Amino acid sequence: MKKWRVDFNESLHPEPWRDFYARYFPELDRMDIKEDGFTVQSLKCLYHDDRKPSATVNVKSGFYVCHVCGSFSPYRFLVEIAGIAPEDASYFINDYLRELYVKDERTGSYLRAFPHYDPSHTYIPTPGQEEEFEEFIKEAKARLRPELPIVQEYITARGIKYEMLERFEWGYVPHDEDAGQVECLVVPFRVRGKIRAIRGRAYDGRKGAVKNSRFSLWNLDSLEGKSQAVIVEGESDALRTIQALEACGVDIPVMSVPGNNFRKEWKREFEGIRTVYLIPQDDDASANFVRSALAVLGEERCKVVELPWKRGDVGKDICEWLTRNDHTDQELVELIPLEEHQDRFSRYYRVEELLKREPAEPDWLVRGMIARGQKILVQGPPKQMKTWFVLSLLKALSRGENVCGVSFWKTTVSGVKAVMVEEEHSTNALIQRVQQSLAGTCNIVIPHRTGVKLLPKNPEFEDLLKFIDEFRPDLLVLDPLRSFFDGDENDSSVMQQVFAPLNMLLRKYPHMAVVVVDHTAKKPSDVLVYASRGSSVKGAEMDGVIDIRKFQKDEDVGVVVTGEFRDAETVENLSLKFEDGNLVYDDGFRINIKLKDSEVRLQKLAKLLTQRSYTQKELTDLLKVSDQTVRNDISKLRAGGFTIEEEGGHQGSPKTYTLTKTPDGWKADDEDSGE
């Protein structure tokens, strides 16, 4: 800490904080100022009951010092003494400093009062420097605390989560009068893992640097293995953009230029990068950023994303566009015309990154059921009210109600936009269902019998894509899946091709979720066909599978719902009653599913065996049935086309069952079905 310092340029303004404090102490205008910036006379402290004046302000550094209460930065003065909300204080200071210009007497032009420290000429390689940079950052990181005013000021003004600072190794350097050290936040610039530069950021927004910093693009290492990238100006905009992209489930590296010039030497880092999105700030200096980046990277692979500033908007950078003008992460992400190709290595996670990352809560549309970016399968034999279930789901999402009135299926938003591509029913049947189910909803569009095919893709599918691009639904429903492709549904390559365009859609519109309605075996009781129908691709593709079975109880009709989800609790045997076109939860309505126990058990047995080998004893324990029943069930599965090998069964070697093949061609070792 002694040797390494974060240097800042002096303010060009001789007394930058005089006007700031003059609002609170009108007498300041008549006061004399000492060499060091403090007032000669004292002021009455606004914080404690001050009989004799005991406070001074420093019109150079901005510090407010009371002999009784301590010293305060301008931000802390506004929040703790003047009682202004942190967010307002932060905005006010930003605006105040931005408006502060100094006239250059030689040229007659106006200069920013707080010029940024330009370290580009300070770089002299020194032996052992990298280790010392590491040491410096390590110390600074250990000092960072969310409650530090400078941290609060930084993150509230920009809408950045504190975790982002920790993840990207931000640190804190305290004020040190003797060393001439300005209180600041610091952030390392790493290139291939090594710190090459350290940026400082004072509470007043001034940028500084540690001597011998050699600035490159910030977050450059995230580019490794990617095919597209976003470049912004400054680390704050980069952090905020990363936060927005991640919130929308988009995995694209974001870098920032340290100044506003894109240097020739950075071009080599972009080898193999097909598309670069430049998001400039809205000021004159940004023109240079765009011009230099286009010149270095080539116009053909750059896309300039201008933020759509409107009359009356406040600010100039990405953080301000978002926080001060009430724009959402999603709005920002949607401005970026993301290419449809997936990054080659986007799913190659670095363990260091994973160690730092908080597991994100899915962006639920319906908590515990379906999140944005997910695909859910609603399946069951034909005529089992699957479409009614989906209509109930749409109604709940549109009206912001719990799905089917089920307490744990809460919708997180209301008025979502949905597109339900309906290929099965007659138009009259559709009209009847909609009139029964969807009263009081809006923003639901139903392309009906349009002939859309995902495989082979047809012009009707292109129309659907265009509509989705315009309408931007939150939910896309395909009912039923079998209508949307030609070919054998038991052929995994066919099913992969069916799901490819859906996956592409979810990458392009990460805020959307997809529900696929699918028929299983015709005879509800024929569990073997039921369990085996369709390629295992279907199950592997899905983030959730909801099984629907229709039942009759006395005069009433209803369904039993079972759901398994990647990110939520399993739902077992939930009974829903059909009432006036909707499936609703009714405490008194429970369906006796005893008849179906054998079916459920067989499914469970088949599922267990796809995970690993089981002994006879394990299976009787897990299924809570007799040895004989397990043997019978194994025979039933075999009759249904499962290949199950048997070993042991004598002294010292328990009988063990191993599933080697299912009727759809799934083989043991084909995939990891572990969960």
Q: Which is nearer to Zn ion, 66 or 160 (CB)?
A: 66
Taking CB under 5 A as the binding criterion, the range among 44-52, 85-93, 261-269, 324-332 that sits at the site for Zn ion is 44-52
Q: Which is nearer to Zn ion, 24 or 589 (CB)?
A: 24
Element (H or E) spanning 164, and its range?
helix 162-167
Q: Which is nearer to Zn ion, 69 or 84 (CB)?
A: 69
Query: Residue holding tokens 């859910």?
Result: 376
Integer Cα distance of 665 and 538 in angstroms: 13
Q: How far is the CB of 81 from Zn ion (least distance, A)?
A: 8
Token readout for 436 is: 């029964």
Taking CB under 5 A as the binding criterion, the range among 38-46, 169-177, 280-288, 529-537 that sits at the site for Zn ion is 38-46
Order of strands, edge to edge, in the sheet holding 643-647? 614-615, 656-661, 643-647
Q: How far is the CB of 151 from Zn ion (least distance, A)?
A: 24
Q: How far is the CB of 45 from Zn ion (least distance, A)?
A: 3
Query: Residue holding tokens 């010293």?
Result: 71
Answer whether 422's CB lies under 8 Å from 404's CB: no
Q: How far is the CB of 403 from Zn ion (least distance, A)?
A: 57
Q: How far is the CB of 55 from Zn ion (least distance, A)?
A: 6
Question: Strand 254-257 relative to strand 228-233: parallel, antiparallel, unpaired?
Answer: parallel
**How open is the CA angle 295-277-213, to the nearest 5 degrees?**
70
Q: Which is nearer to Zn ion, 56 or 374 (CB)?
A: 56
Q: How far is the CB of 61 from Zn ion (least distance, A)?
A: 18
Q: Which is nearer to Zn ion, 81 or 545 (CB)?
A: 81
Q: Residue 30 gets which letter from DSSP?
A: G
Q: What number of other Cβ atoms are within 10 A of residue 375's Cβ?
A: 23
Site for Zn ion in 228-267 (CB under 5 A): none
- Residue 355's SS3 state is helix
Q: Which is nearer to Zn ion, 72 or 565 (CB)?
A: 72
Site for Zn ion in 69-98 (CB under 5 A): 69
Q: Which is nearer to Zn ion, 68 or 285 (CB)?
A: 68
Integer Cα distance of 419 and 39 in angstroms: 67
Q: Which is nearer to Zn ion, 48 or 410 (CB)?
A: 48
Q: Which is nearer to Zn ion, 55 or 455 (CB)?
A: 55
Integer Cα distance of 274 and 643 in angstroms: 47
Integer Cα distance of 410 and 134 in angstroms: 47
- Residue 161's SS3 state is coil
Q: How far is the CB of 66 from Zn ion (least distance, A)?
A: 3
Q: How far is the CB of 21 from Zn ion (least distance, A)?
A: 14
Q: Dihedrals φ, ψ of 582, to 5°?
A: -130, 150
Integer Cα distance of 183 and 201 in angstroms: 9
- Residue 650's SS3 state is strand
Integer Cα distance of 601 and 594 in angstroms: 11
Q: How far is the CB of 249 from Zn ion (least distance, A)?
A: 50
Q: How far is the CB of 50 from Zn ion (least distance, A)?
A: 6
Report the residue from 47, 101, 123, 408 that binds Zn ion according to the rule CB under 5 A: 47
605 binds Zn ion (CB under 5 A): no
Report the residue from 6, 45, 371, 571 that binds Zn ion according to the rule CB under 5 A: 45
Report the residue from 1, 68, 285, 287 that binds Zn ion according to the rule CB under 5 A: 68
Token readout for 159 is: 């809408």
DSSP string covering 504-559, please? HHHHHSTT-EEEEEEE--SSTT-HHHHHH-S-HHHHHH-SEEEEEEEEEETTEEEE
Q: Which is nearer to Zn ion, 65 or 164 (CB)?
A: 65
Token readout for 247 is: 């919130």
Taking CB under 5 A as the binding criterion, the range among 45-53, 93-101, 277-285, 532-540 that sits at the site for Zn ion is 45-53
Taking CB under 5 A as the binding criterion, the range among 14-22, 62-70, 139-147, 418-426 that sits at the site for Zn ion is 62-70
Q: How far is the CB of 238 from Zn ion (least distance, A)?
A: 39
Integer Cα distance of 114 and 590 in angstroms: 71
- Residue 557's SS3 state is strand
Q: Which is nearer to Zn ion, 48 or 449 (CB)?
A: 48
Q: Which is nearer to Zn ion, 50 or 526 (CB)?
A: 50
Q: Which is nearer to Zn ion, 81 or 416 (CB)?
A: 81
Integer Cα distance of 562 and 547 in angstroms: 5
DSSP string covering 69-123, please? TEEE-HHHIIIIIS---HHHHHHHHHHHHHT-EEE-TTT--EEESSPPP-GGG--
Q: How far is the CB of 354 from Zn ion (least distance, A)?
A: 48
Going through 453-499 in order, the beta strands assigned E by DSSP cover 475-479
Q: Which is nearer to Zn ion, 69 or 82 (CB)?
A: 69
Integer Cα distance of 83 and 76 in angstroms: 9
Taking CB under 5 A as the binding criterion, the range among 64-72, 122-130, 280-288, 623-631 that sits at the site for Zn ion is 64-72
Integer Cα distance of 9 and 351 in angstroms: 39
Q: How far is the CB of 51 from Zn ion (least distance, A)?
A: 11
Report the residue from 15, 22, 48, 631 that binds Zn ion according to the rule CB under 5 A: 48
Q: Which is nearer to Zn ion, 68 or 360 (CB)?
A: 68
Taking CB under 5 A as the binding criterion, the range among 67-75, 192-200, 370-378, 395-403 that sits at the site for Zn ion is 67-75
Site for Zn ion in 460-519 (CB under 5 A): none
Q: Which is nearer to Zn ion, 1 or 68 (CB)?
A: 68
Token readout for 164 is: 């982002």
Answer whether 563's CB lies under 8 Å from 545's CB: yes
Element (H or E) spanning 656, and its range?
strand 656-661
Q: Site mask, Zn ion, residues 398-437, x = CB under 5 A?
A: ----------------------------------------
Integer Cα distance of 377 and 618 in angstroms: 30
Q: How far is the CB of 83 from Zn ion (least distance, A)?
A: 14
Q: Site mask, Zn ion, residues 557-576, x = CB under 5 A?
A: --------------------
Report the residue from 57, 66, 93, 404 that binds Zn ion according to the rule CB under 5 A: 66
Q: How far is the CB of 64 from Zn ion (least distance, A)?
A: 9
Q: Is the peptide bond before 456 cis (omega within 30 degrees of 0)?
A: yes
Taking CB under 5 A as the binding criterion, the range among 40-48, 225-233, 391-399, 643-651 that sits at the site for Zn ion is 40-48
Integer Cα distance of 136 and 519 in angstroms: 62
Q: How far is the CB of 46 from Zn ion (least distance, A)?
A: 8
Q: Which residues bind Zn ion (CB under 5 A)?
A: 45, 47-48, 66, 68-69
